[in-house]
A and B are shown apart, each in its own frame.
Chain A
Amino acid sequence: MEKTPVLEVSGLKKYYKSRRGTVKAVDGISFEVRPGEVVGFLGPNGAGKTTAIKAITGLANYEGVIKIDGVDLNEDHVGALRSLGAIVENPDFYLKKSAEWNLKYLASVSDETALRKGYPKEEKLGKIIADRVEKAIARVGLTERKKSAVKTYSLGMKQRLGIAQTLITEPKLLILDEPANGLDPDGIKEIRDLIRSVAESGTGVLVSSHQLHEMQLMCDRVLIISAGKIAASMSIDELSAGEGRKLFVRSDDPAGAKKILEAKFGVEGAVVTGREVHFRTGAELSEITRELVMSGLNIYGVAEEEVSLEDVFMSKVHSRTESVPGDREAEDVR
């Protein structure tokens, strides 16, 4: 049986008035996030990612339907947010206070039912909050610095604390906006592992980032948003299959090889780089090799390249932005 989505977005629209008219920051997007799934939310600056996230997290008014764990955000705002943990734009803190204070405060303003989940009924709420805070701090490895003011934390520690804030009530949906922003490679890996472990415990995660390689490693599925619309939605496994295999041929006559590929296999958009020709095709590798050798070219290598998320992103985004000028206004008018 298919799991019920923890996030259902249907026909989400957010328009702004500007001096130049109405800007369609988000223009009728629909998607879902299921329990245990990590969904990447990608798009260039001004594509509408953050605007959509603000609407989903209850920070902005919107048109359309947003359901978090089956609860309509517009009909039951507080009820819907009970299942949500979120970082929007940057993790935010009361900087002069300690990590422990920040977490205790957030726990104290959270829903009691959510806080009591997994604890005996007779347990005192204060004790539950203290326990949850301890666990959240331990989970992100900040136990030793929990009493220090957050303003003394490094960027990486702040990112980790931000995630701890979202996990304090073990939400069913986690939304993270650029969680690896500004982190070094070790920090990025730490965050990735943390997000994967959260997803493995059954939480649905929607994560936006510009770090496409990281998204490819972290996510089960990606949504690409461009000019306020969903330009692509696919699983990481579908990345290669959907766009055809990506190959390269190394030869002492790459221009000649390109001509043969175009003539014999109908290849379009092949790119010559040095002694290599890069192209996409559905043809078999052995067939291509035989044809090139029989044409009298010196071939030093023919191999398959991995299709990256970046390739897909660039192709999807550019095909949309070229047709929709002025798309970037959306961020500017806010």
Chain B
Amino acid sequence: MFGRLYWGELRKQTSGGAIITLSVITVVLALLMAVLFTAFNDLVNGVEEDIRDSMNSESGVTVGVNFDTGAPAVSSTGQSYTQEEVLTTLNYLYAELEARELQKEEEGYDYYRGSDYIYYVKGEIAFFEYLRDNELYGVRIGVMRDGAIASGEVTAEMFVTLMRSILFLLPLIYASIAAGSTFADEFKSGTIKLVLTRPVGVNALTTAKLLAAFTHAVAAYAAMFLLLVVLGYSFFPAENVRAVFMFNNSAPTLAPSSAALGIGFTTDLIMLLSYTVIAFFVGVVTKNRVVAIITPIILVDVVGGIISLAGLGRFFISNALDWGQFVGISSTVTGGADFFISLPVWAVYMAAMLVLSYFVVKRRDAV
């Protein structure tokens, strides 16, 4: 019975027009970018040397500068380090950390407010300590914390990672439409009466609608991702640099850089499903599809931004939605972000929205 209910919801939420439109946009943009990347390959090649040259190589310190904070930052380009370079850089970073912590103590600096210098320095220390402890000298390594590794040429992984972040909006819109409309449209057209006068449990119906929306979200994103992977590996060579993934800005782990694709896929999917829950919840409460589709974006980006400015960002859902930052995939690490704070914050928001959705559907008069 539930299977048939779920299948029915899946078919109802399928919008042929939206699928065709978004598919065409995705394919055209991905192909266009693949061609552009190929054309500009020469510009990207050799960037490793340029970056290396820009570092303070004379002193043996092999870190660049974080664009936001001015803090030291390991280049995301794949580089090999000598033992001397690692130890010199570590000493430099220890001194930086000590100086900044002293400054913080004197000025009463708020550790979690905005992008944080100390936070970044700690991440760099974790990276170089990992190299030192595992004696990873002379091995070409890139840190994944700042996104894709640029090994000095355009690679399949770089293409997929970049395009994934650009095109993510399309499955996000599709999933939001599916989730936000599923109840709202039925209320608007009156078909909710048709369904609810059948021997269908209200909770079962809500679950079927939610699972159908999840299915659409996963299918849309998986299709887009698969296309990017196929295009990426068709047009460009695979990455040959090993990557360090930093969990929660610490605890580095070495893996092939292609692991970034799997991690990116998973973290994007969690974010996508989280947005789906928000759109679903708003659709249930407001019975309005437009509000349901727009609200998640406003809630996460606008309200989230304002709350972050007030220094409460880590308690708001927008910070908690970006799982990539905790596993070294996001292009930007939010200063002070902490997995062990964001996880319960995310769980509370998601659980609250799901529980409220079920409660409202069950308790409110259907018409």
Contact = CB atoms under 8 A, between A and B. Distances in A.
B197 A84 contact: yes
Interface string B175-216: 000000000000001110111111111100000000000000
Contacts of A110: 198-199
A304 interface: no
Interface residues of B, number: 24
Contacts of B7: 108
A54 B191 contact: no
Given A92-B189, A92-B193, A54 B365 contact: yes
Residue of A78, A105, A112, A114 with most partner-chain B CB within 10 A: A105
Interface of B: 1, 4-5, 7-8, 11-12, 189-191, 193-202, 363, 365-367
Interface string A98-110: 0000000110111
A32 to B, nearest CB: 20
B189 A60 contact: no
B198 A109 contact: yes
Contacts of B198: 81, 106, 109-110
B199 A94 contact: no
Contact of B365 (A60, A77, A82): A60
B194 A165 contact: yes
Interface string A59-92: 1110000000000000001110110111011101
A57 interface: yes
B199 A92 contact: no
Contact of B366 (A59, A111, A112): A59
Nearest to B365: A60
Contacts of B366: 54, 58-60
B199 A59 contact: no
A54 to B, nearest CB: 6
A80 B328 CA distance: 54
Interface residues of A, number: 30
Residue of B189, B199, B366 with most partner-chain A CB within 10 A: B199
Contact of B1 (A57, A59, A88, A112): A112
B181 to A, nearest CB: 13
A95 interface: yes
A248 interface: no
B363 A92 contact: no
A89 B4 CA distance: 27
Nearest to A110: B198
A247 to B, nearest CB: 46
A59 B5 contact: no
A165 B194 CA distance: 9
A88 B8 contact: no
A86 B191 CA distance: 12
B135 to A, nearest CB: 63
Contacts of A93: 191, 194
A111 B201 CA distance: 11
A322 to B, nearest CB: 30
